[in-house]
Amino acid sequence: MRTVLAVDDSISMRQLVGFALKKAGYNVVEAVDGRDALVKLRGAKVDLVVTDLNMPNLDGIGLIKEIRAQPAYKFTPILMLTTESSSDKKTAGQAAGATGWIVKPFDPDQFLKVVKRVCP
Amino acid sequence: VNPAQSAPRTDPLAGLPPAIRKQLREGFVEEAATLIEELEAALLILEHQPDDEETMNAAFRAAHTIKGSAAGIGFLGVADFTHHLEDTLDAIRRKEQSLATDTLSAMLEGVDLIRALLEADQRGTEGPDTSGCLARLLRDDSLRVALSAALTSPSLVSVERMPDTAAFAGLRTIHVDTLRDEVGADAQVYAISFRLSADAFQRGLDPVSLLSSLSDEARVIRTVADLDRLPSLDDLDPLVSYLRFSLIVATQASEADLRAVFDFCPEGSEVEVTHYERSHLALVAAHKADHASKPERREGWRQLGEILIEEHLLAPEELEFALEQQHTRGPMAAIAPSRQEAVGDEGRTVRVKQAKLDQLINLIGELVTARNALLHLQRVVETEYDVPELFKRMKDTSAVINRSVSQLQTDVLSLRMVPVRTSFQRLPRVVRDVASKQGKLVDLQMLGEDTELDKTVADGLVDPLVHILRNSVDHGVESAEARRQAGKPETGSVRVEARREGNGVLIEVSDDGQGIDPTRIRRAAISKGLITEDAGARLSDTESLDLIFAAGLSTAAEITDVSGRGVGMDVVKSNIVRMGGVVSVSSEIGKGTTIRLQLPLTLSVFRAMLVNAGGEAFALPLEAIRETASVSPTEWHTMRGRPVARLGGELVGLVPLTDALGMRWNASAPIEASKDLLVIVVDGGGERVGLVVDALEQPQEIMVKPVEAYLSASGAISGASVMGDGRVALVLEPVATVALALAYTQSMAAIGEAA
């Protein structure tokens, strides 16, 4: 079973993402911000990271850079959750090593389609 | 000592008498030239039919023979290098190396190097540097070979195939029907091809995930991995993406949905999604079915048709229709000439030095002249002497001579006739190189290659043809992307066709590219100062297109390193005109362009208009003459001090031929307001001028003999011909003559203004 690390400081977003993924058969690990995510990554083998960008402590871009720096996660797909208005953030995320993006708000089917594109 | 390795480093012919050495070396150069051409032709076929063993063997044999003979004759540069090329071919033959595009390009580059080395060895000079090409030829290819073997092992594909036995016949039929229902009339077929950017893996992207997503969106009929860019094991970087994946899918999903799968492909990735029309599928299928009998080692797009039939996406009737289409339209994707053409079968032949043929033709020329003199004499006898008996006997004898000479002339000229194929030989390579440089897809069709032409015309045709084809691929055919958007097949088509027409040969080069916009040509010509704004406004579209033959016009939005900077079509035109030919162009925006070359069958005999000026006789090729006219004093007038007349609806400057040629010592009488002028309107180099002469004679067939260089220094006099009455007529070359006449007009105008 594939494990997805869902990183978001909003409880409802984490729930929405987690619910959709679990229903599609993924195992989900949740993290509340970038720093928390790095701790969680140490514990489990993660196949996909879905992260928000605006978060306290360590934001999404910072997290992506940290993840890519780790040999074990060099090739792991990372999806960022962005809002339509933040195309600058999208570019920055890609430069940091993100694989793709999902524009908020999204419906669960749409979300899963994008997830499957990078982590079937 | 291994004799194979101790090839003589000195001239192996050293002990032989110089005359024999020379003969042997010349013989080898000739033999090698033929073999090099065979090798090149075979390689170009292999590019499209990599599994054609017979062609593979032909290529190997050609290289092997070149190497062997070169070593024996002492062309050591050729021998050493060709040895490596032979090794590469052998490795491919034994499936130890793959016939990938880069290897093929290296081998074609090698062919060019062999040509250069041949020349260097012949002159005893240092040959070109072969190290770069050698490195590409001798690359370690084991990884690619192993992978492609694994990819095509039967166990991997047999799963999809139905056993083709009687027991399954019923099932097969059901299978067809259900599949047709399942795929349904509304299912669309797409060809998808993608290669992720080199850094894609490090961005968390994996082609396997994309393939899996695609299979969610569509029914994948076949997937193929293209190993072309895979480096040798030593150079392989496991963090880099090398492979291209190509798929055929049938789906109800929209093209946008399919493209969305590739949304995250980083910059530098290549993604193509092509929708296939059913009719197009049928055509491709037919072409591929043609090659289906040969076992395929490499899976690729080539198999689309077969696969579709196998998958029952195409009905047999559709295939049949397509076969028929193909039959009438000629083979598609025929950049490489078919094998029969490469091997050639022209019956038994004898090699003759061209100089000997030329000498023979010269002699026939003398004979034709003597015959003309005899006919002239016969007329003199008839009209000026009252000897009817003698005249009758003379007439009978001269009729026999006349017939025999005409027959002999035809036969001897036919000896120098060669199929136009020899001029077409370089074209597939040219199209391939330009197309691959620009990433365009181009099919070249060559038709009528057996049409015969005089060798000198055929030789003079090569450069213009190469230039026209470069232009067609460079400026005519659009990129695959642009073609798709224009609703055309991605692969552009360029067609070269030769056929006999009237007294000569017509060669048409047509493409289905973007065409030439006459408005753009007009604007370019005005902005380059080639024509005035007023003149531009008066030009019809056809006349505007003709401007592409004017010197110094380039309309390509950006100058490419392929077709250069607008020097070209004017040179093409002057080369063709110099041979007594005519060039024309027609084009339709969005549909394509056709360039027509009308060529004389032979250079040495042609129909000419004979004129007298200043007491001399001149001959002008009939093709260059627009019209002849007697212009009365009321019909011409003076403009800026120079006489002009409206002829053929156009204002033409009148120049006495003797003035144009600078014959001051015996110039014709000056143009006077009171007398009629005899004018021949001549086209040359895109310009037109009215030459004023003293007398016109009947057109006749003349035989041109070369003249001394000092006579032809101006370029206007290309030769001389002896007339029936023994006079010598100077043969005028139209392009240079017109240029001289115009230069004369300008200098006179300048004098007029100064005065």
For B259, counting Cβ atoms within 10 Å of its Cβ (0-12 exposed, 13-18 middle, 19+ buried), the class is middle
Cβ pair B716, B740 in contact under 8 A: yes
- Segment holding B651, helix H or strand E: strand B650-656
Give the DSSP per-residue string, B315-378: -HHHHHHHHHHHHHH--SS-SSPPHHHHH----S-----HHHHHHHHHHHHHHHHHHHHHHHHH
Q: What is the pLDDT of residue B153?
A: 44
Q: What is the pLDDT of residue B311?
A: 56
Residue B486, min C-alpha distance to chain A (Å): 31
Tell me which residue in B201, B203, B213 faces A116 most closely, judged by beta carbons. Answer: B213
* pLDDT tens-place string over residues B364-375: 877 877 887 888
Q: In what order do the strands lie in the sheet with B504-511?
A: B442-447, B492-501, B504-511, B592-600, B582-588
Q: Round to whole Å and give the CA distance between B137 and B117.
A: 17
Stretch B652-658: mean pLDDT, rounded? 88
Q: What is the pLDDT of residue A6?
A: 92
Q: At what angle do helices A11-23 and A108-118 cross, to 10 degrees?
A: 70
Report chain B residues whose CB lies below 8 A from the CB of A116.
209, 212-213, 216
Whether A118 and B263 lie within 8 Å, measured CB to CB: no
**Unique residue bearing structure tokens 């793709």:** A100
For B478, counting Cβ atoms within 10 Å of its Cβ (0-12 exposed, 13-18 middle, 19+ buried), the class is buried
Q: Which of B719, B710, B715, B706 is nearest to B740 (CA)?
A: B715
Report chain B residues whose CB lies below 8 A from the CB of A76.
204
Best of A47, A75, A112 to disrupt the B interface (most B CBs within 10 Å) is A75
Report chain A residues whose CB lies below 8 A from the CB of B203.
94, 97-99
**Unique residue bearing structure tokens 């009339």:** B185
Residue B78, min C-alpha distance to chain A (Å): 50
Residue B223 is classified by DSSP as: E
Among chain A residues, CA nearest to B240: A75
Q: What is the pLDDT of residue B681?
A: 92
Residue B266, min C-alpha distance to chain A (Å): 8
Report chain A residues whose CB lies below 8 A from the CB of B209.
77, 116-120
Q: Round to whole Å and give the CA distance between B62 and B71.
A: 14
Tell me which residue in A100, A116, A120 faces B264 most closely, judged by beta carbons. Answer: A100
* pLDDT tens-place string over residues A98-109: 998 888 878 888
Cβ pair B70, B127 in contact under 8 A: no
Q: Which of B426, B598, B440, B577 is nearest to B511 (CA)?
A: B440
Stretch B253-276: mean pLDDT, rounded? 83
State how far the alpha carbon of A46 is from the alpha carbons of A6, A73, B246, in Å.
Answer: 10, 8, 30
Whether A119 and B209 lie within 8 Å, measured CB to CB: yes
Share of chain B above pLDDT 90, in %: 7
Tell me which residue in A75, A97, A100 faces B263 most closely, judged by beta carbons. Answer: A100
B346 interfaces chain A, CB cutoff of 8 Å = no
Q: What is the pLDDT of residue B63?
A: 92
Share of chain A above pLDDT 70, in %: 97
Whether A118 and B266 lie within 8 Å, measured CB to CB: no
Strand B605-613 to strand B695-696: parallel, antiparallel, or no bridges (unpaired)?
A: antiparallel
Q: Round to whole Å and give the CA distance between B586 and B368.
A: 39
Residue A120, min C-alpha distance to chain B (Å): 6
Give the model's confidence band at B6: pLDDT under 50 very low, under 70 low, under 90 confident, else very high.
very low
Cβ pair B545, B518 in contact under 8 A: yes
Q: Which of B331, B354, B556 is nearest to B445 (CA)?
A: B331
For A23, counting Cβ atoms within 10 Å of its Cβ (0-12 exposed, 13-18 middle, 19+ buried), the class is exposed
Bridge partners, residue B493, by sequence: B443
Q: Which of B419, B487, B473 is nearest to B451 (CA)?
A: B419
Residue B486 is classified by DSSP as: T
Q: Hey, which residues 257-276 in chain B have their CB within 8 Å of chain A?
A: 261, 263-264, 266
* pLDDT tens-place string over residues B504-515: 788 999 999 998
Whether A75 and B204 lie within 8 Å, measured CB to CB: yes
* pLDDT tens-place string over residues B154-192: 333 322 333 343 333 333 322 333 334 445 556 677 778
Cβ pair A64, A98 in contact under 8 A: yes
First CA to last CA distance, chain B? 88
Whether B210 and A97 lie within 8 Å, measured CB to CB: no
Q: Which of A1, A59, A62 is nearest to A29 (CA)?
A: A1
**Could you count the other beta carbons within 10 Å of the beta carbon of residue B283?**
21
Tokens coding B610: 């004979």
Higher pLDDT, B35 or B149: B35
pLDDT at B743 over 50: yes
Strand B650-656 to strand B687-693: parallel, antiparallel, or no bridges (unpaired)?
A: parallel
Per-residue confidence in pLDDT tens, chain A, 120 aa: 889 999 988 888 888 888 889 988 899 999 888 988 888 888 778 999 999 888 888 888 899 999 988 888 888 999 998 876 667 777 888 888 899 888 887 888 888 888 988 888
Whether A99 and B202 lie within 8 Å, measured CB to CB: no
Bridge partners, residue B445, by sequence: B495
Whether B204 and A99 lie within 8 Å, measured CB to CB: yes
∠ CA B354-B110-B119, rounded to 5°: 40
Q: For chains A and B, what is the number of CB pairs under 8 angstroms?
A: 50
For B570, counting Cβ atoms within 10 Å of its Cβ (0-12 exposed, 13-18 middle, 19+ buried), the class is middle
